[in-house]
Amino acid sequence: MTITPLPRSKTDTYVIKGQFTGDYVSERIQLFDGCFDTAFRVIEFIIAPKSITGDSNQSANAKLTTEDPKTFGTFGDWNWQDNREIGWATWLQNTSNKSQNMQAIIDPENLIIEDLWICGKILEDAPSNVLNYMIVMEKYKISQAEGTLTYIRNRGQDVN
């Protein structure tokens, strides 16, 4: 069986940076331009606490979704089976072995028509509950048919 990809034309790359409360409070990142023939694809997702102290263990996690996570589940759970979850990130500082570790996993098939949501949590000895984030995205011109299918998928419905 041969799978033929739908035609896409990359138009630009965008970087979004900011901060949000790392207390599983979701924050909306508005992307929708009113057209269903343009879409965004997340290619990089990085998080780090606002305040990093060298003498404490700190950890944080976050996720990106295409719908407000408070409408479909708990903030702290990661559900890779849910089409609305498209990116997950962790950040860890361990003072016993003096290491820092960042990791992000992004669904390679993600495509966003409307808006993006971010939520996360800082754990351990963090001096602040604010998280920094940076999201790198590509913008694409897509067909109306792919836009419709992507919109349905972004709402958590199975398109298969």
Q: How do the domains of the chain map onto residue ranges?
A: 8-72+83-154
What pTM does this model have? 0.84
pLDDT > 70: what percent of the chain?
87
Q: Which helix (H) or strand (E) holds 9?
A: strand 8-21
Q: What is the pLDDT of residues 83-107, one digit of tens each?
A: 899 999 999 887 776 667 889 999 9
What average pLDDT does range 114-122 have in this prediction?
Answer: 93
CB atoms within 10 A of CB 60: 23
**Whether pLDDT at 133 is above 90:** yes
Token readout for 69 is 């996570």
**Whether pLDDT at 76 is above 80:** no
Question: Nearest 5°: phi and psi at 98?
Answer: 50, 50
Q: How far is CA 57 from CA 4, 51, 112, 119, 127, in A?
A: 48, 12, 35, 21, 11
Token readout for 128 is 């602040």
What dotted CATH number matches 8-72+83-154? 2.60.120
